[in-house]
Structure 1
């Protein structure tokens, strides 16, 4: 499944491509098609520890989701199709893998809160 969509003939990857490939490799392992040499190549494409940790997180996310989905599916292909689309992209973005934890914890990724900030709100003793 992985080979059919992605292939292994590549020389360079962007961070986004590496995250997509790592997620798909995790899904492939979750359904019994382990590709450790391809994962190593994807990891080695990025020398920085930060980029390698993103790739590793995407891989772990794909494997975890595949193992969870495999419990409910009859065939590995069903699991693959449920988690990876025809272009090789995750059907649900692996947010934790695509965005560092500090960014996901910021309010930039959430909708603004309605009403005044809690620091400007009246204390309970001043409310009727």
Structure 2
């Protein structure tokens, strides 16, 4: 299923595409069709530990969701169709559920928030 949808003939890959592929590889592993060589290839395309950890998290998320869905599905194809759409996009977020927003979103270009930081703000029970 992974090979038909994504193919294995690629030379360069973006972080987003790697997360999609890693999620799909995790789903494939969860339904009994592991592709460790393809996962290693996706991981080795990134030099930074941060990018590799995002790929690993997406893989783990896909594998976990597939294992959970396998208990309710009759066929592995049903699990694949439930978690990965025909264009290769995960039907659930491959990483954002695993990481807090500060790690998944680059905030350097965002304007500063108005008002005091939440750590300096009074709790609601102390406000009138």
Smaller-chain TM-score range?
Answer: 0.7 to 0.9
Where does structure 1 lack aligned partners over 5 or more consecutive residues? 109-116
Give unmatched runs, 5+ long, in structure 2.
108-117
> Which one has the largest radius of gyration?
1
Q: With structure 1 as the length reference, what TM-score do the two structures score?
A: 0.80
Deviation at 1:78, TM superposition (A): 0.2
Change (3 A) 1:54 1:75: same
1:56-92 per-position Cα deviation (integer Å, ceiling 9, x unaligned): 0000000000000000000000000000000101001
Instruction: Please give the residue correspondences for 1:49-88 in structure 2 after superposition, counting only pairs within 5 Å.
Output: 49-88=49-88
TM-score norm. by structure 2 comes to 0.80
Query: SS where residue 33 of structure 1 aligns?
Result: coil
Give the structure with the higher percent helix. Answer: 1
Q: Which residue of 1 aligns with 2:28?
A: 28
Contact 1:30-1:66 at 8 Å conserved across structures: yes
The ranges of structure 1 where at least 4 consecutive aligned residues each deviate by more than 6 angstroms after the TM superposition are: none
Corresponding residue pairs, total? 114
